[in-house]
Structure 1
Amino acid sequence: MKFRKVLTIIATTIIFISLFNNQFFISSNAVSQKEANNDSSIVNNTSKKVEVKHLRTEKSKTFRNSNGSYSTEIFDEPIHYYDEREQHWTDINNTLNDNQQSNTIENTKNNYKVRFNKGKSNIPLVELQKNGNTLKIDSVNLKSSGNIKNNNSANINKVNYHANKIKYTNIFPETDLQYTVGNSKIKEDIILYQKPEGQEPSIYSFSLNLKGLDYQQLEDGRILLLDKKSKKPSFYIEAPFMYDSSIPENYQKNKDILDIPEGAISYALKMDVKKQDNQLLIELIPDHEWLTSNEREYPVTIDPTIVTLQPNSQLDDTNIRSYFPNQVGGTETSLGVGLYKDSAQTNKIRSLLKFDLSAIPASSQIISADLNLWLSSVSNDLPINVDVYELSSSWTESGASWNKRNESTAWTNKGGDYKNTLLSTTGLSNLLDLSTNIKWKIPKDVVQKWIENPSTNHGFLLKSSDETKATYKKFISGDHPEFSSTSYSPMLVVSYYPISRLGFEDYWTYDYHPLTGGISATNLTTGNNIITV
């Protein structure tokens, strides 16, 4: 009985060393439970796959499957922060805790620290620290009907916090101030429970301590807060919007989801900025006519959001709207597609998403790729197909609108530049609960191209296949305050075989040459040479 030997010959010593040092080198057999338990970098997830912790990135988790392949779950917002002391990526935890030593309420684990005043000491209302820079909100004031009501940190009495939210109740008459801590931003809500009195507009002002910082207000209304020495942005404050509590007919949303109906949103408010010494005074002036309209349903929420800039990545999901062609939507809690139409507006809504694929090793063989979203709401149960296209121009979350792809550059075609070839489509009609994720199969060759040439990755555009049909569907975005970890956030799952697998595999292509008593086969992707004798 003859035995056939399979020898793997590496072309050069350099390739040999690089492959055997590669973090993806594994046998073709499934990883046993014993092996998983003995590897501190592997975490049990299910009976079929385990997480490989040392392959984590800021926005991804990677799992080893039972057949030797890998699946990487990539999110469009950070889910990890790098722990300098432990020297690894760790899960973000936004839970707020009582710090008795500093007499503040603070977040648990992230690459920034935020502290909230408990109302018992004369310290800033909010203090946000990141990369050596500190942003302090010293006080909040309200000017209404000629009267000025001050509310600095020393006279706050009613404070409640739970999970990642803290609320200052009745900070002004019939007005609450609420902060929600997210993975990359602090969401601020001014909640008004009744219409303002008098004929003069209400002005909400925030005093920010600018020690070590400077500012720049952009044309779109955002405020950049810059490090004085490096001149690089450390934080920015989004242009605000507001919404009331009206629920249109035929609108449905999932329970416990913060989703705003299209007809309830207003951008009719100004944000004025004044600098005095080291203090930056920000005034929010909501449109008085809109607030006092008979159509308004209270409570009304005014939403400016403070974003902490990530040093190594962009945050990439947003909405663009035809009726508000210059309005950005990078901090919204949902991503929409379809058409909203009422007596005042006809508004197409589309969504942009982009995923960082750097967690996938170059030259890996892609098996599959799926885009996963979860419905937050629907307006009308009319069926539509939600189409996914490949964007052909770069864009930024903070600057993209219907007209522009970033702060200064217009799209070639309004509504987004995308390739004509449809990547994938899924039919939707009625609202589905959160136990069901909506999935689009993305062609393998598109993902393979993006991995091999990252500069071609501009992400996806989602739109209704029929933008004349009066229905829209919304999905939970990466900015949703209730789901700022991996639960229900937009996710791209890429499954692949890594380059470091040696020997014959049916997913590689080989160039075969006969030898005396055997065969020589060269892997055309990896360059590895295999000889059977």
Structure 2
Amino acid sequence: MKSTVGKLALGVAAVTALSGVPAAHAAEPPTAVEAASAQAAKTGQAVPVPSLTDENSTTVANPDGTLTATITSGPSNVKQGDRWVPIDTTLVAEGGVLKPKAAKADVTVSAGGEGPLATMVDEQGRKFSLQWPQALPAPKVAGNVATFADAAGPGADLVVTVLPTGFRHDVVLRTKPSGPIELRIPVRTEGVELGEAADGRLELRSDAGEVVAAGAKPVMWDASGRGKPRGDAIAPVEAAVRTENGAKVLVLTPDAEFLSDPKRVYPVTVDPTITLPGVEVDTDVATSWASHPGDAMIIAGTMPWENGQGGDVMRSLVKFDTSAFTGKRVLWAGLGMWNVETNACGLRVGSGLTAERVTGPWDENNLNWDNKPPTVKEGSSTVRAGLGRTWTEPCAGGPGFLTWGVTGIAQAWAKGAPNHGIQLRGADESEATNWRAFAASENKEQGVKPPTLAVVYWR
């Protein structure tokens, strides 16, 4: 199957036009879909169908009687009153705190001073709040990120990143500590309890004992991986949840040997991320590191380590809600991934990346190279282009969608195949260098698009 490059086609140019729209019964008023289809046929333009909008998708009626559903891997819309609006996690001052303009979770971040560092409340009213023992400085705010300089000690910043469904929190060590360090973060909860799973992950359990959310095992990594942990630039962080004076405290103990290593590239990020209610639907995994939900970027392909002593094979996984076209006749489907970085620019970069249908379940909070899910080749396609920028220079045209034809995959889901998502991997994983970095659904930078599935189907 030929690969395509550029903007994700959301219309029906890639499929054969169908004619004829079933007429509504004369005695019955037209449904919203029928009305939109009639208007589209009359005007020759696609018409939105608001009744088919939800937090993950929008749908339009096409002039030929088909529908096009545009589905994002994570929440992209949130309901405010009786209308859906795009999620916007940009932080703004409101009532003495910082809040995202529009997000699924009710999140507040400190604007400085006494009080919680960050708090989130889900739709069931369950609350998870990070405290801080000292008054916080006024943060530097950039989009959805609030940075509290030196709040965790000299050269150690607290960083809160607001996500569509919650937040992630990091401690960023800008400079090498003079000795071993321990980070103590008081936690307050309502309706949930923070604890440790048997495998070392952090998790939130409801009062009834149900796991509401879980984070990957806490880790830290240095700056050599360009924001992604890999190889010998990553290390686990010892984490313990203790009860002190009737209150929970998350205690993080970064490995002192890792921090003092002369080859360490600062800053070092200590990441004990956990979000409520835990609905991440895109992630990546590699031969040297496990998945880290909440990352703004996911990578697929092969990449050598900077020290030349090895490399990583990486795969990205994305999942979409396919209920909009289940049981329907799918005519065309395209997967769009917003390519922000590549090992080289151009239409033919290495063997490219292959999109395959995933056939087994996976847990983004407990995903590593040994338990990654199986896939099938039927319906797969390969794209060889590279967009965005390399590590040294921008590509002509900048970032944009790489688009895989995945009609066969969508048709399988429509006919009842279990939906476990799509995997992206290097077409030839024996290559030393052949990788692409994509925006994840958590990436809310200006102009960036989330993983998107566009499906044209007969209504």
TM-score, normalized by the shorter chain, greater than 0.5: yes
2:323 counterpart SS class: coil
Contact 1:175–1:191 (Cα < 8 Å) also in 2: yes
The equivalent position to 2:93 in structure 1, one of 89, 98, 103, is 98
1:424 — aligned with what? 381
1:193-237 deviations in Å (ceiling 9; x for gaps): 211103xx2111111013432234224432121221x43344434
Map 1:488-499; keep pairs closer than 5 Å. 488-498=449-459
CA distance in 2, matches of 1:449, 1:202: 52
Contact 2:386–2:436 (Cα < 8 Å) also in 1: no
1:443 — aligned with what? 407
Distance 1:241 1:8, change over 3 A: closer
Distance 1:300 1:26, change over 3 A: same
Matched, 1:476 2:441: no
Distance 1:369 1:9, change over 3 A: closer
CA distance in 2, matches of 1:72, 1:374: 18
CA distance in 1, matches of 2:421, 2:26: 35
Q: How far off its partner does 1:123 sit?
A: 2.2
Q: How far off its partner does 1:180 sit?
A: 1.3
1:410 — aligned with what? none
1:337 — aligned with what? 300
Q: How far off its partner does 1:349 sit?
A: 1.1
Identity %: 22
Unaligned runs of 5+ residues in structure 1 are 1-5, 11-15, 36-46, 140-150, 248-257, 405-414, 499-533
2:75 counterpart SS class: coil
1:25 counterpart SS class: helix
Distance 1:497 1:217, change over 3 A: same
Distance 1:18 1:276, change over 3 A: farther
CA distance in 1, matches of 2:410, 2:136: 52
The equivalent position to 2:165 in structure 1, one of 181, 184, 189, is 184
CA distance in 2, matches of 1:65, 1:487: 26
Q: How far off its partner does 1:30 sit?
A: 5.1
The equivalent position to 1:31 in structure 2, one of 13, 24, 40, is 40
Contact 2:350–2:434 (Cα < 8 Å) also in 1: no
The equivalent position to 2:175 in structure 1, one of 191, 194, 217, is 194
Distance 1:188 1:50, change over 3 A: farther
1:377 corresponds to which letter in structure 2?
E
1:487 — aligned with what? 448
The equivalent position to 1:158 in structure 2, one of 138, 142, 152, is 138
| Aligned-residue RMSD, C-alpha | 3.2
Contact 1:233–1:309 (Cα < 8 Å) also in 2: no
How many residues are paired up?
Answer: 426
1:123 counterpart SS class: coil
1:114 corresponds to which letter in structure 2?
V
Distance 1:338 1:112, change over 3 A: closer
1:356 — aligned with what? 321
2:324 corresponds to which letter in structure 1?
A
1:422-476 deviations in Å (ceiling 9; x for gaps): 51111135744544311111134x31331242x5222212111211111142332
The equivalent position to 1:115 in structure 2, one of 90, 101, 108, is 108
2:265 counterpart SS class: coil
1:125 — aligned with what? 117
Map 1:33-72; keep pairs closer than 5 Å. 48-72=45-69
CA distance in 2, matches of 1:7, 1:30: 11
2:247 — aligned with what? 279
1:441 corresponds to which letter in structure 2?
G
Contact 1:209–1:278 (Cα < 8 Å) also in 2: no
1:501-521 deviations in Å (ceiling 9; x for gaps): xxxxxxxxxxxxxxxxxxxxx
Q: TM-score, normalised by structure 1?
A: 0.72
2:130 — aligned with what? 137
Q: How far off its partner does 1:357 sit?
A: 0.8
